[in-house]
Amino acid sequence: MTTPTLPSTPVHPRGSPQGDVRNLSSPLRTLARVLLIASICGAPWAIGAVEPWGWGALMILCLLALILWAVGCAQRGVLRITWTPLYWPFLAFLVLAAVQLLAGLNSDPIATREAVLKLFTDLVFFFLAGQLLNASPENGRALETFGLIVTLLAFALCILGLAQILWSAGPRLIYWSISVQGSPFGPYVNHNDYAGLMEMLLAISVGYILSQSWTPVVRFLLWSGVVLVITSIWMSGSRGGAVALLIEGVIWAGVLLLSRPRSVSLGSLSLLLAVVVSAAAIFSWMVSSGWVGGYAWSVFESSRPLDVTIGDRLRVGVDTLRMAAKHPLMGIGVGCFERAFPTYMTFASDLHWTHAHDDIAEALAETGVPGLMIIVVALFVFFRMAFRHVEERLQHKWGWVQMGATVGAIGLLVHSFVDFNLRIPANAAWFVVCVAIASHPRSSSGRPHKAPRESAPASNSGYVT
């Protein structure tokens, strides 16, 4: 009689590092990651998800991704949550908004209810991005793939925007068929919202391209796409977008000069400068040759309005602060600016002001001092987490995607002082995803967690890192 030979494949205990990676790479977890990325990539195409059907679908998709992630964890018997201190201010802000809704501390209950639902959606996106796109070893490859997807998405959106303004007859339309008021660009109703999204996508794309080793032809094509993205932001006529691009460029220059990453030469700084100069040359040629209207120059003309002037924004900002001073304890209610603002207007205007063109001032008016304190704490924690161990992070390819997310989030924060990108569901979802990628702790060392006792039965053990 012969004894059968057992297969030589090693079997790892549930608590070992290899077992953790196996558990974390379940099909449902992968499907949740795919659905998460598909949702945020599809949201801009749905007119920024500003319509009820758009942000409603976004909320359903994020909840479905959350269910898939949870079932995947239960199926493998391991619940591991990557933690960041930013969860506390995010939860506090949501609780504050819920209290305003339930206690009737608002001037428009319907608007506050809608705002609470959107905040909850953003929290779910933030949580999922923190679990599925963090810097842990098992997610490194996913982050690199995410960088490629973002690069392709940015290129596709800029091609749409440029094509619409180059080959549109009569009033500019979205998708050549949807007529909207204002100044649309690409799939967005407002050109500033388009610029806000592209600021984030562009920063991630730059980080991804810098991290990879390309053939000369592929490198040329990728940087040419970046040139077109920058050109499209300038063509949109968004002054806030132009300023945000400048800030992002300064941050990237600082990263390359101060961190001195081994994988990227300092010649990349000259390359980035060449990209910007090329974009400026194309932009100037397209405007001067008559390919597009002279409105594109308004990005460099502060006195020329494309939608509202800088002076109008300043007056609205001052009146918004007056509104905040009248309601310092709890504000007027999240989402209630549009209904409450006409009472506080001190200047004549035939425009209907749906937002304050300053996300920080509007948040202060709607949530009072408690909301402002939460925002300040969140910003402090974000900058502290995002810029920790930069040099070590940039030794990995996925670390450049993380840095791109950091730069993109900062760019949108700068833009938010003169616009309301955080009130656009698609842009808000991208912002919280960028913040999650940038701020969640890295675990590149692959340090194993303490294994449970061998005699203990398999259970849904919680791992919090």
**Residue 413 scores a pLDDT above 90:** yes
Minimal CA–CA distance to 105: which of 459, 410, 370, 295? 370
Higher confidence at residue 263 or residue 159? 159
Q: What is the pLDDT of residue 16?
A: 42
Alpha-carbon distance 162 to 160, whole Å? 6
Highest mean pLDDT among 82-96, 124-138, 307-321: 82-96
Closest alpha carbon to 329 in 31, 154, 83, 96: 96
Length of the chain: 465
**pLDDT surpasses 90 at 230:** yes
- What are the φ and ψ backbone dihedral angles of 435, each rounded to 5 degrees? -65, -40
- The answer to whether residue 422 scores a pLDDT higher than 80 is yes
Reduce the DSSP state of residue 462 to 3 states and report it. strand
Most confident of 129-133, 313-317, 373-377: 373-377
pLDDT of 402 strictly over 80: yes
d(CA 365, CA 68) in angstroms, rounded, equals: 37
Q: Give me the chain's average pLDDT, please.
A: 83
**pLDDT tens digit string along 329-352?**
999 999 999 999 999 988 877 778
With residues binned 3-state (H G I as helix, E B as strand, rest as coil), the percentages for the chain, rounded to 5, are 65, 5, 30
Q: What are phi and psi of 14, to 5 degrees?
A: -60, -35
Q: What digits encode the pLDDT tens for the residues 183-222?
A: 889 999 999 999 999 999 999 999 999 988 888 899 899 9
d(CA 116, CA 114): 5
Q: Is the pLDDT of residue 159 over 70?
A: yes
Q: Which of 381, 361, 309, 321 is nearest to 345 (CA)?
A: 321
The share of the chain scoring above pLDDT 90, in percent, equals 54
| 113 Cβ contact list (under 8 Å, min separation 6) | 101
